[in-house]
Structure 1
Amino acid sequence: MDHNVYLLATDPNDPCRDIIHSRDTSLKVRVFCLNSDRFSADNNEIQLYGYAHDKLYAFETINITAEDALDVVGAIQWYAEYINYPEMEILPEDPRPGHHLAV
């Protein structure tokens, strides 16, 4: 498929707690605003990060499957467009001091 369609579930009590859903696959990505949310990475999931509008976002998959892993970046790019920040750089590691994972 050349173009995935994404949907967004929002939390009416927390404007920064969104979940991106792929309409055509089982991909789900939870969005966290690290400026205001606590975030602890799940070792079984994929995490990516990005800055937009002076906020640092964390994106973490929910029950990721191997066939959906390649679509994570596309979902984040869609979200960046949605929040009117298409130039968001997607980062592979948490850029906050002291939050890099030891490999």
Structure 2
Amino acid sequence: MEHNVYLLATDPGDPCRDVIHSRDTGLKVRVYCLSEERFSADENEIQLYGYAHNKLYAFETINISADDALDVVGAIQWYAEYIEYPEMEILPEDPRPGHNIAM
């Protein structure tokens, strides 16, 4: 079984602005620390959420293609290992009150 290799682009001025890149595909996932910054979901992208180290993270794809959609969870699992929180539960909806309202 092949495994994707992920790379991380970081912003030294903002530790909450990581971007996960797949080395082998076009997948890119932006990481947001929701306790420290504003986040508005892009309806054209995939968003997933997870708690780690008492912080809520949002993960949003960047220019997602259909071929890369299945790899999003794997990228987030890799990031959870990277931040030393492998037990992160990946949530399909924003768990913050009032942020998961159907239109």
TM-score (normalised: structure 2): 0.98
The Cα shift of 1:82 comes to 0.0
- Runs of 5+ consecutive residues of structure 1 not aligned to the other structure: none
Aligned-CA RMSD value: 0.9
Alignment-mate amino acid for residue 2 of structure 1? E
Residues 52-96 of structure 1 show CA distances to partners (whole Å, capped at 9, x for unaligned) of 000000000000000000000000000000000000000000000
The Cα shift of 1:101 comes to 3.9
- Runs of 5+ consecutive residues of structure 2 not aligned to the other structure: none
Residues 13-65 of structure 1 show CA distances to partners (whole Å, capped at 9, x for unaligned) of 10111000000000000000000010000000000000000000000000000
The Cα shift of 1:2 comes to 1.7
Give the total of aligned pairs: 103
What SS does the corresponding residue of 1:60 show, helix, strand or coil?
Answer: strand
Alignment-mate amino acid for residue 71 of structure 2? D
Work out the CA distance in 1 between the residues paired with 2:101 and 2:24.
32
Cross-structure match for 2:4: 4
TM-score (normalised: structure 1): 0.98
Alignment-mate amino acid for residue 21 of structure 1? H
Cross-structure match for 1:68: 68
Work out the CA distance in 1 between the residues paired with 2:72 and 2:24.
13
